[in-house]
Amino acid sequence: MTSLAAPGARLAPQGHQAGLRIALLDGFRLIGGAEAIPVPGGAERLLAFMAMRRRAVGRLSVASSLWADATEGHAYAALRSTLIRMNRACRDTLLVTPSSLELAPGVSVDLREAQALAHRLLEAGPHDAGDLSVESVATLSSELLPLWYDDWLAFEVEDWRQLRLHALEAVVDGLVQARRFGDATAAAGVVVRADPLRESAQTALIRVHLAEGNQSEAVHAFDRFSRLLHVDLGLEPTPQLRDLVGRHVRSQRGGLHR
């Protein structure tokens, strides 16, 4: 179907009417209504690639990105073959011309919604209660296409990882201000588990303990991080983190140390 399009013509998309959704967080899914739609092999990566682009992309650029190890001719042929083998639902997600591909209007992408959430949280507060919800924490806890190791995806994965961790730290601050300490501890724990050596994450967790009045928890968290940082990287916590704990806790051990 795609190979027969007249020059300059676009295939009529049905994505808006079908209510199609591409999910990229915690694994790829194509969803129509409330049901998952089967996607032929090879088409998953094409749809995922296009779902991360906000404008039309030239066919050659798509082909060379997805089939980077192939010659230009073989990559172009592989793209054409993938388009031909697509089922109707997959074709409805794309606008296809002889020279370019683009995600069809009306097709939603969970990653885009999650990115918008993260950017809202990184703006100066106060934040909407919905953005500080348990559901928001779950969204920001989700990885982008885990177990996919394609070269074209590496930058997107790291970009989302950094964005979501910064946003989660902002969630922690908002939850502390709302005195929702249990939810704040859970959100901070997500960031700490994602990157135990990330000092801003450990700082967020320690701030929760201090705000809640749990000085011993703050000291224990500081000590665990200090040991981990020393063993793994031979580093010490920054003076800023030491000062944060020292201002709130009077150590009975003559000072904070490993």
Residue 14 confidence (pLDDT) above 70:
no
Measure CA of the first residue to CA of the last residue in the chain; give whole Å: 66
Instruction: Report the mean per-residue pLDDT for the chain.
Output: 89
Mean pLDDT of 37-57: 94
* Cβ proximity of 40 and 87 under 8 Å: yes
Q: How far is 58 from 69, CA to CA, in rounded Å?
A: 18
CATH superfamily of 109-248: Tetratricopeptide repeat domain (1.25.40.10)
> Which 8-state DSSP code applies to residue 57?
E
**If pLDDT is split at 50, 70 and 90, which confidence band does 250 have?**
low
Phi, psi of 40 (to 5 degrees): -60, 150
Q: What is the CATH number of domain 2-106?
A: 1.10.10.10
The pTM for the full model equals: 0.85
Task: Annotate 83-124 with DSSP letters as a single string.
Answer: HHH--HHHHHTEEE-SSEEEEPTT-EEHHHHHHHHHHHHHSS
Q: Which tops the pLDDT comparison, 248 or 102?
A: 102
- Residues 110, 20 contacting (CB under 8 angstroms): no
pLDDT of residue 13: 45
The secondary structure element, H or E, covering residue 33 is none
User: CA–CA separation, 198 vs 229, rounded Å?
Assistant: 9
Model pLDDT for residues 96-139, shown as the tens digit of each residue: 999 999 999 999 999 999 999 999 999 987 888 899 999 999 99
pLDDT at 223 exceeding the cut of 80: yes
Tell me the pLDDT band of 162, cut-offs 50, 70 and 90: very high
Whether residue 88 is predicted with pLDDT greater than 70 in this model: the reply is yes
Q: Are strands 20-23 and 108-109 parallel, antiparallel or unpaired?
A: parallel
Q: At 237, which amino acid appears?
A: P
Q: Domains of the chain: which residue ranges?
A: 2-106, 109-248
Give tens-digit pLDDT for 133-149: 999 999 999 999 999 99
| 16: Cα separation from own chain's centroid | 24
Name the residue type at position 41.
Answer: G
